[in-house]
Structure 1
Amino acid sequence: MDFGSARRAVLQLLGTTAPADVPALLHWMRTTRDFDELTRDNRDAVLKNVADDLRCRLPPEAVLGSEQRALQKIRQQPEPTVHVDAFLYDEDVIDSLCEEGKMSRNFCTVCGSHRTAPLGFISHSFSLMELKFIYLHVLPDLSGKLLVDIGSRLGTVLYGVKSSFVLPVLHELILLQVLHADICTQGPLLQSADVIVMNNVFEYFLTEAEQARAWNYIIQNVRKQGSLLVTVPSLQDSLVGLEINVQLSSWVEEIPLDLDVYPERDIDREALEQIHLYKVL
């Protein structure tokens, strides 16, 4: 059945539905997960396969032993908090692990009792939903552009590029380069960048003095007019309490994001609200 015939069949079905039941039927069509297999994007499948492979190679918390400062910061949270990498563990995977007893969403407030409270979850990676939002609804066409992901960790931003979110036809021609270096030694790279992505980039990995040093270096070198910064959280939240040598308003302007353009029904709006876009003045 071609599109035209299918459309007519659906309209005919709606026309034979009891008028009182039409609102409920339309609501079901808008919200059901029954159509997921029909609408699944191949790009989603590529990234899910990458996540499946990485989960087998990393410890469950996806934090390496060398990331001692991150582990310490997580333990200092006011409520019990665990690192659950949002790229590796989507809600379905977490549900499966909880059912198997390998993960929990709650902690016991009184040992041995039924009084429990939700665990705090923190991630240093973008989820698949967040990646799609950034590439499809936040950033412009990146053809011929230089994108720099600072503090890439598992490389989720790069996987998003290679999954065809950026260039659906020519993604095989995208050049990826991974640098293991102090960002404060990468002035020429920052000066050339058209887009810079920073996701919880320093707070959990550097002291406040080291954070201030890194941010001052970035601000000094990211001066290409019109270049874009994607940050989580906002620059204001990242820089609070740090010794920074510039007023944000003289360096960048924030570009409002429309969260309503995201096509998926099941979105974590709170997570998307943490994504901010800035343009260098």
Structure 2
Amino acid sequence: MLKNIAEDLRNCLPLETMLSSEHLALQKIQQQPEPTVHVDAFLYDEDFIDSLCEEGKMSRNYCTVCGSHQTAPLGFISHSFSLMELKFIYHHVLPDLSEKILVDVGSRLGTVLYGGYLYSSASQLYGVELNGDFCQLQEMVIKKYQFTDRIKVLHADICTQGSLLQNADIIIMNNVFEYFLNEAEQARAWDYISHNVRRRGSLLVTVPSLEESLSGLQVNIQLSSWVDEVPLNYDVYPEKDIDREALKQIHLYKIL
């Protein structure tokens, strides 16, 4: 079913899966030290990208000297989890979610919510998304696939959702602020989250690590007194074609 959802969303979005309303994210991707393209990992798996490259619709390389044959690999960035990453999170990272409330901060296309609906027993899955266009896309999927009983999408700034964060058992944050907010706004958002995500034993899943997300920001968050990182087994999939580097970006924390 997730593959059907991905197909529906592909039909609604441009290839780079970025909207013109995402000014800052587009600008930040262009400012990367190496040429970088946004490819949504939920919509486009490796095989799909290969077929697009064969059709000439996408390239994995860029020309280092315009017009020459000197090429180097393009950087790829995704703001969504791939199918494999979703399965890893719901089958191997998180415990049984029966009677639990999950909040996805910056739910974008809704992949974490759909994965949670299909792969977990979470009683409620909330997506908080600032971009109205993405909220509409999520609502379209939720209605079409009849997920409305357990999924709710809020068109809101996470910094207005204190009670939701305080009551959440699981909070998921995937590349959530870096590309969408300036540094002062990122610091404000992290401060807000660290003040409101305080329920002892609740879980925080982040990409990248909290240390990496907070480095370089003017925040006064003492991680050692807020969270305890839970070690994960990244070798649960023996298959050779598994992107272990992507899995290793996923971190789990327990609130102290």
Calculate the TM-score normalised by the size of structure 1.
0.80
Equivalent residue letter for 2:121: L
2:71 corresponds to 1:116: yes
The question of whether the paired residues in 2 share the 8 Å contact of 1:97 and 1:103 is answered with yes
2:135 corresponds to 1:160: no
Task: Give distance in 1, aligned partners of 2:197 and 2:81.
Answer: 23
2:169 corresponds to 1:215: no
The question of whether the paired residues in 2 share the 8 Å contact of 1:211 and 1:242 is answered with yes
Equivalent residue letter for 1:257: L
Task: Give distance in 2, aligned partners of 1:196 and 1:111.
Answer: 44
Query: Offset of 1:244 from its aligned partner?
Result: 1.8
Gap regions ≥5 residues in structure 1? 1-45
Task: Give distance in 1, aligned partners of 2:196 and 2:32.
Answer: 33
SS of 1:279 mapped into structure 2: strand
Task: Give distance in 1, aligned partners of 2:221 and 2:52.
Answer: 46
2:153 corresponds to 1:178: yes
Q: Counterpart in 2 of 1:273? A: 248
Task: Give distance in 2, aligned partners of 1:246 and 1:261.
Answer: 32
Task: Give distance in 2, aligned partners of 1:180 and 1:252.
Answer: 28
Task: Give distance in 2, aligned partners of 1:173 and 1:94.
Answer: 31
Query: Offset of 1:101 from its aligned partner?
Result: 0.5
User: Which of the residues 205, 208, 211 maps onto 2:180?
Assistant: 205
Task: Give distance in 2, aligned partners of 1:101 and 1:94.
Answer: 10
SS of 2:154 mapped into structure 1: coil
Query: Offset of 1:260 from its aligned partner?
Result: 1.5
* Bigger share in helix: 1
SS of 2:80 mapped into structure 1: coil
The question of whether the paired residues in 1 share the 8 Å contact of 2:169 and 2:203 is answered with yes
Q: Counterpart in 1 of 2:141? A: none
The question of whether the paired residues in 2 share the 8 Å contact of 1:195 and 1:227 is answered with yes
Equivalent residue letter for 1:167: S
Equivalent residue letter for 1:224: R
2:33 corresponds to 1:78: yes
The question of whether the paired residues in 2 share the 8 Å contact of 1:149 and 1:198 is answered with yes
User: Which of the residues 131, 136, 143 maps onto 2:98?
Assistant: 143
User: Which of the residues 225, 237, 242 maps onto 1:262?
Assistant: 237
SS of 1:220 mapped into structure 2: helix
RMSD between superposed Cα atoms in Å: 1.6
Calculate the TM-score normalised by the size of structure 2.
0.88
Higher Cα Rg, which structure: 1
Query: Offset of 1:111 from its aligned partner?
Result: 2.0
Cα 1:173/1:145, change in 2 over 3 Å: farther
Q: Counterpart in 2 of 1:227? A: 202
How many equivalent residue pairs?
A: 233
Q: Counterpart in 2 of 1:191? A: 166
Query: Offset of 1:114 from its aligned partner?
Result: 1.4
Task: Give distance in 2, aligned partners of 1:245 and 1:119.
Answer: 36
Q: Counterpart in 1 of 2:138? A: none
SS of 2:176 mapped into structure 1: coil
SS of 2:155 mapped into structure 1: coil
Q: Counterpart in 2 of 1:249? A: 224
Equivalent residue letter for 1:234: S
SS of 1:135 mapped into structure 2: helix
The question of whether the paired residues in 1 share the 8 Å contact of 2:99 and 2:121 is answered with no
Gap regions ≥5 residues in structure 2? 123-145
Query: Offset of 1:52 from its aligned partner?
Result: 1.1
The question of whether the paired residues in 1 share the 8 Å contact of 2:49 and 2:58 is answered with yes
Query: Offset of 1:264 from its aligned partner?
Result: 4.3
Query: Offset of 1:263 from its aligned partner?
Result: 5.5
Q: Counterpart in 1 of 2:142? A: none
Task: Give distance in 2, aligned partners of 1:118 and 1:254.
Answer: 33
The question of whether the paired residues in 2 share the 8 Å contact of 1:54 and 1:88 is answered with yes
Q: Counterpart in 1 of 2:5? A: 50
Task: Give distance in 1, aligned partners of 2:147 and 2:237.
Answer: 26
Equivalent residue letter for 2:246: A
Query: Offset of 1:236 from its aligned partner?
Result: 0.2
